[in-house]
A and B are shown apart, each in its own frame.
Chain A
Amino acid sequence: MRYSALEVIKQGLTGNKSWRPVWRTPAPKPSYDVVIIGGGGHGLATAYYLAKNHGMRNIAVLEKGYIGGGNVGRNTTIVRADYGQKGNSAFYSHSLKLWNGLSAELNYNVMFSPRGLLELCHSDGQMEAYNRRANTILARGDKAEMLDRNGVTDFAPYIGMNNERFPIKGALLQRSAGTARHDAVAWGYARGADALGVDILQNCEVTGFDIRGGVVHGVETTRGVIKAAKVGICVAGRSTQVASMAGMRLPIESHVLQAFVTEGLKPFINTVINFGVGHFYISQSDKGGLVFGGDLDGYNSYAQRGSLGQVEHVAEAAMSMIPAMGKSRMLRSWGGIMDMSMDGSPIIDSTHIKGLYFNGGWCYGGFKAIPASGSAYAQLLATGAVPDYASAYKLNRFETGHLINEEGTGAVPGLH
């Protein structure tokens, strides 16, 4: 069913009796042309673009849990394209372009809201660095502007400007960045992929690979053996475990990142604000909750929950940046597992096993990457080559020295 205002009216007048589940729950077929492991945002987007852009139909997405239950439902929904490193810059620029047309593309409202991203600067040196960053963004054809102190006050008057430790000198503003509805992104891609014939298999955990003579022939799952000529790993938070079943050892550590939401408030925060030196960022959801977070807890974890120390640290940063937040009450906090790569940038590449492909290591930047990652991975699975905008994300770059280290922190995943 195609969604439209007319359809809503029609359904409303007929008692809303004809709405149907938006994807099927098929039984696994014995074999597929392509099997994608992981039904998160990236996996579903990959399946969608494989069907849409490359005309493939015999595709399965294998999800251990349920659609929308992993990191695609645990993030803070920020979409931005403010990267400076070559490789990252082109990729996220392309992703932002796809975000702009995504609701129309999927005929599903992903509620992409380009409300802007404000990155605060606290010293002359940082202003210089962000000027350079803004020029890099402008030079590749995207939008960015620099605000001075008064500009910050005008744009976001609720920011406390009397911070003694980190005085605000100005900010980089990217008006085309913003937020989206994370669940809708998962559901929209799932619906789109299903409509093109993709089988979405939930509660189907991969337990092993069928690899013979360096060639993958399929996967073993909790719902039986499934044969496939091509298998794409796409499992943020469990990349190490799945890849290890294929004998791979990855340049990845898994860490926990916490996020928080307050009770619903009236419109208050008009943009996305990144208070980098305070390890804090915030936006306000359309429902009214203030959605915010900070840095990683800093140690390996698969727990999907963090320590109280980081809760306190984030709350302190919130109070120092927006003192008025002290009157709101925190509703929930949760953790997500970040597969942190050794240079802070992701991997989209083929592996040493023929027919087996890998997509992962998204650190805490996976959500905004979904459209570009899906279309790049689909092209890799269909044709064997990634498009130019994703060509830097090679698995062997750690050996060849072509690292993409946006933060310049070295091979310490907890610091990216």
Chain B
Amino acid sequence: MRLTCPHCGPRDSREFKYFGDAKTARGDDFASTYLRDNPAGEHAEIWQHISGCRAWLEVVRNVTTHKVISVKEAGQ
């Protein structure tokens, strides 16, 4: 699987670290901590390009096909 970093271009997924569902990434209540939609389809998620530019990214990916639909900087 490859992710196209907005700064560095297409890179192997091993350069990135996964931080889970983007919807619950910032919350600190019970639901954000423990409950997940966990869809079998498109999933918005947070990754960090830890072996590259270290940017925090929001990736939309189809988790059933591993097709990456979009990558942008998180919070934009």
Contact = CB atoms under 8 A, between A and B. Distances in A.
Contacts of A254: 38, 40, 63
Say whether chain A's binding surface is mostly helix, strand, loop, or mixed.
mixed
A250 B35 CA distance: 5
A250 B34 CA distance: 8
B76 interface: no
A68 interface: no
B34 A300 contact: no
Nearest to B67: A303
Interface string A1-27: 000000000000000000000000000
B45 interface: yes
Nearest to A309: B14
A301 interface: yes
Contact of A300 (B1, B14, B45): B45
A200 to B, nearest CB: 25
B49 interface: no
Interface string B33-66: 1111111100101000000000000000101111
A307 B43 CA distance: 18
Contacts of B18: 298-299, 414
A249 to B, nearest CB: 5
B40 A241 contact: yes
Contact of B43 (A241, A300, A309, A398): A300
B27 to A, nearest CB: 12
Given A399-B30, A414-B18, A414-B20, A303 B66 contact: yes
Given A299-B18, A307-B1, A414-B20, A253 B36 contact: yes
A398 B34 contact: yes
Interface residues of B, number: 24
A102 B42 CA distance: 42
Interface in A231-245: 238, 240-241
B52 to A, nearest CB: 15
B38 A307 contact: no
A124 B35 CA distance: 38
A411 interface: yes
B63 to A, nearest CB: 5
A342 interface: yes
B38 A300 contact: yes
B13 interface: yes
Interface string A401-415: 000000000011110
Contacts of B43: 300
B63 A303 contact: yes
Given A301-B66, A303-B64, A414-B18, A309 B35 contact: no
A252 interface: yes
A397 to B, nearest CB: 10
Contacts of A240: 36-40
B64 A252 contact: no
A302 interface: yes
A208 interface: no
Which of B34, B38, B39, B66 has the most chain A CB within a 10 Å cutoff? B38
Given A250-B36, A411-B33, 18 more contacts: A240-B37, A240-B40, A249-B31, A249-B36, A249-B37, A253-B38, A254-B38, A298-B18, A299-B13, A299-B45, A300-B38, A300-B43, A302-B64, A303-B63, A303-B66, A307-B1, A309-B12, A309-B14
Interface of B: 1, 12-14, 18, 20-21, 30-31, 33-40, 43, 45, 61, 63-66
Interface of A: 238, 240-241, 249-254, 298-303, 307, 309, 342, 398-399, 411-414
11 contacts: A249-B31, A251-B34, A253-B36, A254-B63, A299-B18, A300-B63, A303-B66, A342-B33, A398-B34, A411-B33, A412-B20
